[in-house]
């Protein structure tokens, strides 16, 4: 957004925007899930459970901190991360309110569990994405 276009949103909308931005990566969602299952974890404990580099996990934890989704407590050389429950409650309230206003027809309520995926050769799967592969047996003359 340019510097001349500044919209003034209410505080709750700004908070929801920051929360959604912070949750906008699968790794951060996984970190939040781990913290929800067992609060007060160190970065090292999270790294043991998510197969990514410590520096990567630290960057994701920083983004969660920017979104005010985690609290940080220093215990000696350890940094303990826990969930900021108040902002999760704000998100929960917002989503419950938002979702209660949406009507989805029954025929459009397909889920991952009910969706049928076609299986077949790898070329058939690529064809559905419009990838074109030349026939392996055909060789162009030199």
| Residue 138: predicted pLDDT | 52
Confidence bin at 109 (pLDDT 50/70/90): low
pLDDT confidence bin for 88, thresholds 50/70/90: confident
Instruction: Please work out, in degrees rounded to the nearest 5, the angle formed at the alpha carbon of residue 47 by the alpha carbons of 46 and 53.
Output: 145
Q: What is the pLDDT of residue 115?
A: 46
Express each pLDDT in 34-69 by its tens digit: 999 999 999 999 999 998 999 999 999 999 999 999
Domain ranges, ordered by start, for the chain: 11-99
User: In this structure, which topology does domain 11-99 adopt according to CATH?
Assistant: Arc Repressor Mutant, subunit A (1.10.10)
3-state secondary structure of 11: helix
- Overall average pLDDT of the 132-141 stretch: 52
| 133-139-141 Cα angle (round to 5) | 135
Cβ–Cβ under 8 Å, residues 45 and 92: no
Q: Tokens 């029954």: give the residue.
A: 106
End-to-end CA distance of the chain: 53
Mean pLDDT of the chain: 79
Q: Per residue in 112-128, pLDDT tens?
A: 455 454 555 545 544 44
Summarize the confidence of residues 10-20 as an average pLDDT: 85
The answer on pLDDT for 73 being more than 90 is yes
């Amino acid at each position: 957004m340019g510097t001349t276009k500044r919209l003034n949103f209410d505080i709750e909308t700004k908070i929801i925007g920051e929360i959604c931005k912070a949750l906008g990566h699968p790794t951060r969602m996984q970190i939040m899930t781990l913290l929800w299952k067992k609060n007060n974890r160190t970065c090292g404990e999270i790294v043991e459970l998510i197969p990514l580099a410590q520096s990567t996990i630290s960057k994701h934890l920083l983004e969660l901190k920017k979104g005010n989704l985690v609290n940080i407590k220093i215990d000696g050389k350890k940094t303990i991360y826990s969930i900021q429950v108040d902002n999760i409650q704000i998100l929960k309230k917002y989503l419950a309110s938002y979702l209660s206003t949406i009507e989805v027809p029954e025929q459009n309520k397909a889920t991952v569990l009910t969706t049928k995926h076609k299986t077949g050769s790898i070329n058939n799967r690529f064809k559905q994405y419009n990838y074109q592969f030349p026939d392996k047996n055909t060789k162009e003359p030199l």
